[in-house]
């Protein structure tokens, strides 16, 4: 998302993320390299996206020189009300959600509704993705207004290399079993 924003001419973007880069991120998140492991995702993402935007020079669509590009990172939890509250959200024209945490998604949904700022809510489950625009002014149903299905499948890309929840351990064990003892090793997501 951030790569696409930078390459399509978005000049002012703020990124909030509490996570740091893990080796398991390197195969699926193209902004990160091995030297970034252990650093905050938001900081590295903003640095790389800024460099991409600056390397593009003049925007081919508008012809405008992309000087004055600002990608600002906030290393922290979006649920931290002392930092990320309604007043913080009101500064923006639109908020784009790319969260994998239901509690955080609900929090951002509520903040955007309270601040009357449109929210583009995006997420994935396995190989399925969805995008919804939530706008209080347009009276479009919010994230919590829609029935959320209980997750039955846990895609391996969402499971950290060091399990932090019981479900992570179960998924790793299941995939490891398929890899070691399955008829076709390639059926395991670890293959």
Q: Give the active site residues.
A: 157
Q: Which residue has the tokens 């020189």?
A: 65
Residues 142 and 97: their CA atoms lie apart, in Å, by 13
Cα(141)–Cα(144) distance, integer angstroms: 8
Task: Read off φ and ψ for residue 46, nearest 5 degrees.
Answer: -65, -40
Beta-strand runs (E) in the chain: 12-17, 70-75, 95-97, 119-125, 128-134
Cβ neighbourhood burial of 4 (10 Å; 0-12, 13-18, 19+):
exposed
Those residues whose C-beta lies under 8 Å from the C-beta of residue 81, and which sit 6 or more positions away, are none
């Amino acid at each position: 998302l951030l790569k696409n924003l930078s390459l399509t001419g978005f000049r002012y973007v703020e990124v909030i993320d509490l996570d740091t880069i893990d080796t398991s991120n390197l195969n699926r998140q193209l902004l990160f390299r091995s030297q970034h492991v252990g650093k905050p995702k938001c900081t590295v993402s903003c640095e790389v996206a800024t460099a991409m935007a600056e390397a593009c020079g003049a925007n081919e669509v508008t012809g405008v020189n992309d000087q004055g590009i600002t990608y600002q990172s906030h290393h922290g939890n979006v649920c931290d009300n002392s930092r990320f509250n309604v007043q913080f959200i009101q500064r923006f024209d639109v908020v784009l959600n790319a969260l994998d945490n239901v509690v955080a998604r609900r929090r951002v949904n509520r903040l955007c509704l309270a601040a009357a700022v449109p929210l583009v809510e995006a997420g994935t489950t396995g190989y399925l993705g969805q995008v919804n625009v939530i706008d209080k002014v347009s009276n479009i149903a919010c994230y919590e207004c829609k029935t959320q299905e209980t997750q039955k499948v846990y895609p391996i890309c969402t499971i950290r290399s060091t399990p932090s929840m019981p479900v992570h351990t179960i998924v790793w064990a299941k995939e490891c079993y398929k890899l070691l003892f399955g008829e076709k090793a390639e059926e395991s997501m670890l293959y």
